[in-house]
């Protein structure tokens, strides 16, 4: 269910600065060159001139605007560590011929648009940012296309994508001309005429890249869990914490203020349809769902929802300032949460909201009806029956659930299945069902909230603690 993973009022928050007429169509590159569409990622149409590069990558990234692409940084061996030879999120990037421009990929002043769905970069900028490791691998260091979360990537392969008439139909084809392998002694380069099968220099090629191994299970190193919490009303100011660090942040706030960690007292399974604005969006019969939690302090509530990984764009339907140029959520988000989205992976978002109870929350839903929501509905309500029901424990349960199933699936693991599982878990209800048609075939997975994910083997992932470092291994 695509709508569960993104803010469909404008396809995605990272892209809200764009005018619809100027939207990057991704694969418009003339009659010959063509890229296979990759459905992961959206972007923000912002570009700022880069400053003078420093030799220290970390200091450079901290000093410069987070929208600025950073290339050509000299790094040492420590800054090429990928945490292992496997695991990690896979990214794709468009590498463009130097000087190639068109209105779909460039700003009005001729610079490449930053934060594209598939990151884009000119050939010289990309290849001068590669460092060869002692193992013979090639690692990109910098800030690819201005994406704050994409700073270290291992190059896996280079491909040429093109179109060709086959039996009267236009076919999309590709040829790989370089890839990482033990026997490959050739350096990766942008192809010139006469290189391999190339008769002319292509306008563009595609790179396949792998993020560090820890990115398989979290936004940052040694902090597992694709879960983030927007604490809007804390005494020290709004904050976004993520992964297991949310737990220490919640407990730390309680110690500083001398107030107890809040406890959940009521939970509500709610749903709504999205306002449909683009032809490619799916039928609005599909519901987006979440769970609203009421706390014992009675000062605010919290929305918990499952969605596409990296899909928020720093904007939330649960925040009044969502349509501002720079919402509070975006400003509070750390750089590691700002990346192209992944439509086949999930994250769980915990957002504190102003309503103090379900009655005020429903008023909020009705306030934005036909603007953000269609036909809002409260499907179930009940008392939280957990004996350990404080916020830090609830975050622990949510992280357990996320790490047991990292994938997103429109039919079997989506916002509705999570909301049904989470509400049933909190309130000890056995007959909780998603909205139709996703209730067909739904199988509850409430047990995943309770148990340590590293104690269970998955078909593609096993988490283990070894020497205080998180490892990702195939099983």
Q: pLDDT tens-digit profile of 112-158?
A: 999 998 999 999 999 999 999 988 999 999 999 999 999 999 999 99
Asked if residues 149 and 310 have their Cβ atoms less than 8 Å apart, the reply is: yes
Asked if residues 280 and 214 have their Cβ atoms less than 8 Å apart, the reply is: no
Amino acid 465: pLDDT: 41
Rounded Cα–Cα distance for residues 77 and 69 (Å): 22
Q: What's the Cα-to-Cα distance from 304 to each of 36, 80, 316, 324, rounded to whole Å?
A: 34, 36, 12, 22
Candidates 109, 213, 226; CA nearest to 152 is: 213
Q: pLDDT tens-digit profile of 180-211?
A: 998 898 999 999 999 999 999 999 999 999 99
Q: pLDDT tens-digit profile of 283-293?
A: 544 789 999 99
Residue 171's contacts (CB-CB under 8 Å, 6 or more residues apart) are: 163, 164, 165
Confidence label for 46 from pLDDT (cuts 50, 70 and 90): very low
Above 90 in pLDDT, residue 270?
Answer: yes
Tokens at residue 283, please? 């039928």
Residue 423's contacts (CB-CB under 8 Å, 6 or more residues apart) are: 267, 268, 269, 291, 380, 382, 429, 432
At 399, which helix (H) or strand (E)?
A: helix 391-404
Q: Locate the DSSP E strands across 111-151.
A: 120-122, 130-132, 138-141
In a 3-state reduction of DSSP, which class is residue 30? coil
Residue 229's contacts (CB-CB under 8 Å, 6 or more residues apart) are: 240, 241, 242, 246, 249, 250, 350, 351, 352, 395
Asked if residues 450 and 397 have their Cβ atoms less than 8 Å apart, the reply is: yes
Candidates 348, 346, 352; CA nearest to 332 is: 352
Amino acid 21: pLDDT: 28
Q: pLDDT tens-digit profile of 62-96?
A: 544 567 899 998 777 777 889 888 899 999 999 99
In a 3-state reduction of DSSP, which class is residue 162? strand
Q: pLDDT tens-digit profile of 423-451?
A: 999 999 999 999 877 777 889 999 999 99
Q: pLDDT tens-digit profile of 314-371?
A: 999 999 999 999 999 999 999 999 999 999 999 999 999 999 999 999 999 999 999 9
């Amino acid at each position: 269910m695509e709508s569960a993973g993104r803010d469909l009022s404008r396809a995605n928050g990272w892209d809200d600065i764009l005018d619809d007429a100027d939207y990057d169509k991704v694969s418009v590159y003339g009659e010959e060159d063509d890229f296979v569409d990759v459905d992961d990622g959206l972007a923000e149409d912002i570009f700022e001139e880069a400053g003078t590069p420093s030799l220290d990558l970390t200091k450079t990234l901290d000093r410069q605007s987070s929208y600025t692409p950073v290339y050509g940084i000299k790094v040492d061996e420590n800054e090429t560590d990928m945490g292992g030879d496997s695991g990690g999120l896979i990214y794709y990037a468009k590498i463009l011929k130097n000087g190639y421009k068109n209105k779909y990929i460039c700003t009005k002043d001729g610079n490449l648009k930053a934060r594209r769905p598939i990151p884009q970069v000119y050939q010289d900028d990309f290849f001068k940012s590669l460092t060869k490791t002692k193992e013979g691998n090639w690692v990109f260091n910098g800030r690819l296309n201005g994406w704050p979360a994409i700073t270290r990537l291992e190059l896996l392969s280079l491909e040429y994508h093109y179109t060709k008439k086959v039996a009267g139909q236009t076919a999309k084809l590709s040829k790989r001309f370089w890839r990482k392998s033990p026997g490959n002694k050739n350096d990766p380069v942008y192809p010139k005429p006469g290189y391999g099968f190339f008769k002319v220099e292509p306008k563009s090629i595609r790179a396949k890249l792998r993020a560090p191994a820890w990115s398989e299970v979290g936004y940052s190193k040694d902090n597992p869990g694709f879960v983030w919490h927007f604490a809007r009303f804390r005494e020290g100011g709004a904050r976004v914490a993520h992964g297991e660090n949310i737990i220490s942040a919640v407990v730390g706030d309680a110690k500083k203020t001398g107030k107890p960690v809040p406890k959940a007292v009521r939970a509500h399974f709610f749903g709504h349809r999205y306002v449909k604005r683009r032809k490619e969006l799916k039928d609005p019969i599909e519901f987006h769902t979440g769970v609203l939690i009421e706390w014992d302090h009675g000062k605010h509530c919290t929305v918990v929802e499952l969605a596409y990984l990296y899909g928020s764009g720093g904007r939330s339907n649960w925040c009044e300032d969502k349509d501002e140029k720079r919402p509070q959520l975006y400003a509070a988000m750390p750089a590691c949460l700002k990346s192209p989205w992944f439509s086949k992976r999930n994250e769980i978002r915990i957002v504190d909201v102003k309503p103090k109870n379900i009655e005020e929350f429903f008023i909020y839903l009705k306030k934005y009806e036909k603007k953000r929501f269609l036909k809002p509905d409260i499907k179930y309500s009940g008392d939280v029956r957990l004996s350990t029901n404080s916020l830090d424990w609830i975050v622990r349960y949510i992280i357990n659930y996320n790490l047991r199933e990292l994938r997103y699936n429109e039919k079997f693991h989506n916002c509705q299945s999570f909301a049904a599982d989470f509400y049933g878990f909190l309130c000890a209800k056995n007959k909780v069902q998603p909205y139709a048609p996703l209730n067909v075939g739904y199988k509850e997975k409430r047990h995943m909230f309770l148990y340590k994910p590293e104690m269970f083997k998955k078909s593609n992932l096993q988490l283990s603690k070894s020497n205080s470092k998180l490892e990702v291994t195939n099983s």
